[in-house]
């Protein structure tokens, strides 16, 4: 386990003390829980941004165009085989 030194301005310290008393937990426990919660929020925001970027990539990708190209290529190959067989 690591230790840190934390300096708070007076107003934040007073608010923290009020919450600690209200929740009946230690100051250390309160701060650890706050850091853990904020870390989860940041991870969630990061994940949401990644999903947003991937959605934009998917929007830009036209699967119908790609599928049409596959069918066109397959049709041309089939037509060429048909023509090759007739001659």
Number of structural domains the chain divides into: 1
Q: Which domain holds residue 53?
A: 10-86
Other beta carbons within 10 Å of 13: 13
pLDDT band of residue 82 (cuts 50, 70, 90) is low
The pLDDT value recorded for residue 8 is 95
Decide if 5 is inside a domain.
Answer: no
Are 30 and 19 a contacting pair, CB within 8 Å? yes
Say how far apart CA 63 and CA 2 lie, in whole Å: 51
This model's pTM is above 0.75: no
Predicted confidence (pLDDT) per residue in 14-48, tens digit: 999 999 999 999 999 999 999 999 999 999 899 88
- DSSP string over 44-71: HHHHHHHHHHHHHHHHH--HHHHHHHHH
The pLDDT value recorded for residue 68 is 72
The pLDDT value recorded for residue 73 is 76
The pLDDT value recorded for residue 61 is 72
């Amino acid at each position: 386990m690591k230790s840190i030194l934390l300096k708070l301005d007076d107003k934040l310290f007073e608010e923290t003390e009020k919450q600690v008393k209200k929740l009946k937990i230690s100051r250390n426990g309160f701060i650890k829980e706050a850091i853990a919660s904020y870390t989860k929020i940041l991870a969630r925001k990061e994940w949401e941004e990644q999903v947003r970027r991937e959605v934009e990539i998917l929007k830009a990708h036209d699967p119908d165009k790609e599928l049409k190209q596959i069918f066109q290529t397959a049709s041309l190959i089939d037509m060429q085989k048909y023509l090759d067989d007739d001659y």
